[in-house]
Amino acid sequence: MTVPQITLNDGVRIPQLGYGVWRVKDDQVVAPVLKALEVGYRHIDTAAVYGNEAGVGKAVAESGVPRDEIFITSKLWNDKHHKDDARQAIEETLTKLGVDHLDLYLIHWPAVVKHGDAYIEAWDSLQQFKAEGLTRSIGVSNFNPEHLDRLDGTTPSLNQIEVHPSFNRADLRAEHERRGIATEAWSPLGNQHAPSDLDLPEVVQVAEQTGLSPAQVIIRWHLQIGNIVIPKSVTPSRIEENFAVFGTELSTEQVDLLSGLDKGNRQGGNPLVDH
């Protein structure tokens, strides 16, 4: 199965469907990542703060899939925004992953609450890392337009933000479009806690209409509105299910139905309040 690719503003191509590994312990991440690679995922989303980069790297090495066929993203944590800390952080990330470069490196949060403007300095470091070939592309995560406005130099290739049907971020996605920044959706299933988007009656209704599962319906919605999407599962059957979303399409009416479910239902952190 070929996953569509999105061309980022720096020309780097990213598989539109990836595999996230938040909240999977280092010693438990190898098997699910191996399963994901066996199923066909070629894009893995990790972060220094997840504490599982070594396990991800082990799975990548054991998989037999050539490194250059796997798109690997990691993220700079909030207390590493200053220049020397950022340098040490990417070196540790590369060492743990066992690779000589990343495909994408993100500033995980602007972290203005605890660290003020330090994210602006971090962006200078990321541009330097890209210039040195330590990462092919650079972007941000959990940035609002006011944070994007403060960055000098290169425009981030993408902004990884919480997006799911009940929190669809239409305004921020439109702002990304205007700026040439791709949208990558975290917690794409809206399933961090109840009420889960997987249980929304409209999602269940479209699942019944299409023969897809509720998770597949939501993943198709992301793909069809242009998001890059990185669902996480440690359950082998769900890893397969979340990948089996190609060769079928939601109708325009079904996409619009899901796009109309926004309730401002943020499930994770708010960059203006947390961190």
Give the shortest CB-50-to-ligand NAP separation in angstroms: 7
**Closest by alpha carbon to 48, among 18, 17, 72?**
72
Give the shortest CB-271-to-ligand NAP separation in angstroms: 9
- Beta 5-7 vs 135-141: how paired, if at all? unpaired
**Closest by alpha carbon to 18, among 186, 173, 269, 177?**
186
Does the footprint of ligand NAP cover residue 53 (CB under 6 A)? no
How many CB atoms within 10 Å of residue 66? 8
Q: Which of residues 218-237 bind ligand NAP (CB under 6 A)?
A: 230-235
| CA angle 39–31–34, rounded 5-degree value | 35
Question: Whose Cβ is closer to ligand NAP: residue 50's or residue 129's?
Answer: 50
How many CB atoms within 10 Å of residue 168? 24
**Closest by alpha carbon to 43, among 161, 184, 206?**
184
**Closest by alpha carbon to 202, among 184, 187, 190?**
190
Residue nearest to ligand NAP (CB): 20
Give the shortest CB-150-to-ligand NAP separation in angstroms: 19
Give 3-21 as a 3 state SS string: CCEEECCCCCEEECECEEC
Question: By rule CB under 6 A, what string of x and - marks binding of each residue 19-38 to ligand NAP?
Answer: -xxx----------------
Question: Whose Cβ is closer to ligand NAP: residue 115's or residue 232's?
Answer: 232
Does the footprint of ligand NAP cover residue 159 (CB under 6 A)? no
User: What CA–CA distance (Å, rounded) separates 171 from 166?
Assistant: 14
Question: Whose Cβ is closer to ligand NAP: residue 125's or residue 213's?
Answer: 213
Give the shortest CB-104-to-ligand NAP separation in angstroms: 12
Out of 19, 41, 50, 105, the active site residue is 50
Q: Which of residues 91-120 bind ligand NAP (CB under 6 A)?
A: 108
Question: Whose Cβ is closer to ligand NAP: residue 254's or residue 267's?
Answer: 267
Q: Which of residues 179-218 bind ligand NAP (CB under 6 A)?
A: 186-189, 191-192, 198, 213, 215
Question: Whose Cβ is closer to ligand NAP: residue 11's or residue 187's?
Answer: 187
Does residue 119 carry a catalytic annotation?
Answer: no
Does the footprint of ligand NAP cover residue 268 (CB under 6 A)? yes
188 dihedral zone (left: phi>0; alpha: psi -120 to 50; beta): alpha
Instruction: Estimate the crossing angle of helix 201-210 against helix 214-224, to 10 degrees.
Output: 90
User: What CA–CA distance (Å, rounded) separates 228 from 73?
Assistant: 13
Looking at the annotation, which residues are catalytic? Answer: 50
- Interface residues with ligand NAP (CB under 6 A)? 20-22, 45, 108, 141-142, 160, 186-189, 191-192, 198, 213, 215, 230-235, 238, 241-242, 268
